[in-house]
Amino acid sequence: MKKILVSILEIGEIAIIALGAVFIVRNFLIQPFLVSGSSMSPNFSNGDYVLIDELTYRMREPARGEVIVFKYPKEESTYFIKRVIGLPGERVTVSGGIVKIYNNEHADGLVLGEEYLPTGLSTSGDSDTRLGNDEYFVMGDNRQFSYDSRVWGKVPKKDVIGIARLRLWPPSGLTVFAAPQYP
């Protein structure tokens, strides 16, 4: 009888440790995310299962070109996945299909080269947005059909959950993501 009780206690101890590890990983390190919609096509598709790294942005700020998951600023129970275009303190303009970034380094504006977009894709809409401290301008890769900062504005840093690191599903689309390099 004593052996059975010791075995049950050991199983309970293992279960508690496993649940604690899952809780820590899930809430502080990595979070799964299911892409819903086509705003990030062709780079992310409806139904893609992505792992989000929640730790990186505790150590550094998001970089231009990274794909992030964040709470939608107008409804915090909704999560979006978009690409970071504008960084804190910058001005972002969209006009005539061209995205320009204005900052201390590029006072006359830098036309954003976006090799991750399909050839011939034009960025629709017109906007002129100045970002404050801790604010980001984000856009979907499917520019014609993306509901993003051109429509509803800036994303506060506090709403950023993490960076998309790995696509797990579909298996044929297994991909590790890195931010694009801009000239």
Clarify whether 82 is annotated catalytic: yes
Q: How far is CA 181 from CA 61, 66, 70, 92, in A?
A: 16, 10, 22, 18
pLDDT at residue 24 in the model: 57
What letter would DSSP give residue 26?
I
Clarify whether 146 is annotated catalytic: no
pLDDT at residue 26 in the model: 57
By C-alpha distance, which of 67, 87, 79 is closest to 154?
A: 87
pLDDT at residue 46 in the model: 86
Q: Which CATH architecture has domain 32-176?
A: Ribbon (2.10)
pLDDT at residue 179 in the model: 67
Structure tokens at 47: 């139904």
Catalytic residue among 3, 39, 77, 127: 39
pTM to 2 decimals? Answer: 0.79
Structure tokens at 34: 């299911």
Catalytic residue among 3, 7, 38, 82: 82
Low-confidence ranges of the chain (pLDDT < 50): none
